């Protein structure tokens, strides 16, 4: 009879942890909020590939099956992570009597800041919408800003989507590079690879100094001005 191979050391450790958790219970009560906070912290530090119900259970000190009592499946967990990021957008810092363009700029910067604070969660943010009431509050806020500015409901919805797309694109660009902007020397070397007679505008633009915050504000303000002009055109 062949000798039975011993279980992997890692498996024995996980089994021991699970038995201890079931016997003594978690050090603190297991709640949805605690699960989501632990999941987001795991993604922040180790990336999305590290996120699994087994790993989450280990970090929480509970049997992974206990998580399903609070969050039914992996999709619901991802939605909860989106919610956790979106709730970091502090809409209460808005100034209701400020010009519409400034309120739009505030909303865009707040959304961008929340996304950049959780760069490892960006793939979730880019592929899953705000599917819970708490996650949708910033969406409601921005639509309200545009409605206050005089846009129709359909214009406000389209405007919100346009601004959100600009923010998500900017966040994805920064998150994908993960580096500082190129130096003038790097830009000059890059420009030299394109024949100036064929790419005169690209060559000229490549030599301009790049400032992400300045360029982001320029783009959002241009978008805001266009939306506010559309409001005037529809009402005229």
Last residue of a domain, one of 45, 72, 99: 72
* Same-domain status, 66 and 181: no
DSSP state of 22: H
In a domain, 78, yes or no: no
Contacts 24+ apart (CB under 8 A), 170-175: 170/112, 170/212, 170/216, 170/219, 171/112, 171/115, 171/116, 171/122, 171/125, 172/122, 172/126, 174/116, 174/119, 174/212, 175/115, 175/116, 175/119, 175/122
Choose the final residue of a domain: 20, 41, 72. 72
Report the number of secondary-structure helices (H) and strands (E) in the chain.
12, 0
The predicted pLDDT at position 172 comes to 87
Summarize the confidence of residues 42-55 as an average pLDDT.
95
Same domain, 103 and 209: yes
- Using CA atoms, how far residue 186 sits from 25, 170, 191, 206, 207, in Å, is 57, 21, 9, 10, 10
Question: How far is CA 92 from each of CA 51, 64, 107, 148, 171, rounded to the nearest angstrom?
Answer: 32, 36, 11, 16, 23
Same domain, 66 and 123: no
In a domain, 214, yes or no: yes
DSSP state of 47: -
Number of domains composing the chain: 2
Q: 199 with 154, same domain? A: yes
Residues 123 and 190 occupy one common structural domain: yes
95 and 210, same domain (yes or no): yes
108 and 29 together in one domain: no
Which tens digits make up the pLDDT trace of 196-236?
A: 899 888 888 877 777 888 999 999 999 999 999 987 556 55
In a domain, 84, yes or no: no
Q: Name the nearest CA neighbour of 160 among 130, 124, 199.
A: 130
The CATH number covering residue 201 comes to 1.10.357.10
Q: Tell me whether residue 79 is in a domain.
A: no
The pLDDT value recorded for residue 35 is 97
- Residue 100 above 50 pLDDT? yes
Mean pLDDT, residues 26-52 taken together: 92
Condensed to tens digits (0 to 9), the pLDDT of residues 119-175 reads: 999 999 989 889 999 999 999 999 999 999 999 999 999 999 999 999 999 998 887
Which domain CATH number covers 39? 1.10.10.60
Residues 142, 112 share a domain = yes
Do 67 and 100 belong to one domain? no
Do residues 105 and 221 both lie within one domain?
yes
pLDDT of residue 135: 95
Task: Please give the DSSP secondary-structure letter assigned to residue 199.
Answer: -
Residue 86: inside a domain, yes or no? no
CA torsion, points 214, 219, 224, 229, in degrees to nearest 10? 120
String of DSSP letters for 58-69: HHHTS-HHHHTT
Coil/strand/helix, residue 34: helix
Task: Provide the pLDDT confidence category of residue 16 given band limits of 50, 70 and 90.
Answer: very low
Among 20-24, 107-111, 187-191, the least confident range:
20-24
Give residue 212's domain range: 91-235
The answer on 124 and 50 residing in a single domain is: no
What pTM, to 2 d.p., does this model score? 0.79
Q: Please give the mean pLDDT across all residues of the chain.
A: 85
């Amino acid at each position: 009879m062949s000798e039975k191979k011993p279980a992997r050391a890692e498996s024995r450790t996980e089994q021991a942890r699970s038995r201890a958790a079931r016997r003594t219970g978690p050090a603190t009560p297991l709640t949805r909020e605690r699960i989501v906070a632990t999941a987001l912290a795991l993604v922040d530090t180790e990336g999305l590939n590290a996120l699994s119900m087994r790993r989450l259970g280990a970090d929480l000190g509970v049997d992974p099956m206990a998580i399903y009592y609070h969050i039914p499946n992996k999709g619901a967990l991802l939605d909860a992570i989106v919610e956790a990021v979106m709730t970091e957008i502090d809409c209460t810092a808005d100034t209701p009597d400020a010009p519409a363009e400034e309120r739009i700029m505030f909303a865009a910067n707040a959304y961008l800041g929340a996304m950049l604070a959780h760069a490892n969660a960006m793939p979730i943010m880019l592929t899953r919408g705000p599917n819970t009431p708490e996650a949708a509050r910033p969406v409601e806020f921005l639509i309200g800003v545009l409605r206050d500015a005089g846009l129709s409901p359909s214009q406000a919805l389209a405007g919100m989507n346009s601004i959100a797309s600009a923010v998500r694109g900017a966040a994805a660009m920064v998150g994908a590079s993960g580096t500082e902007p190129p130096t003038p020397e790097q830009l000059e070397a890059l420009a030299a690879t394109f024949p100036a007679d064929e790419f005169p505008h690209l060559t000229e633009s490549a030599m301009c100094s790049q400032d992400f915050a300045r360029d982001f504000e320029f783009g959002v303000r241009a978008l805001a001005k266009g939306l506010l002009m559309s409001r005037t055109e529809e009402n005229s």
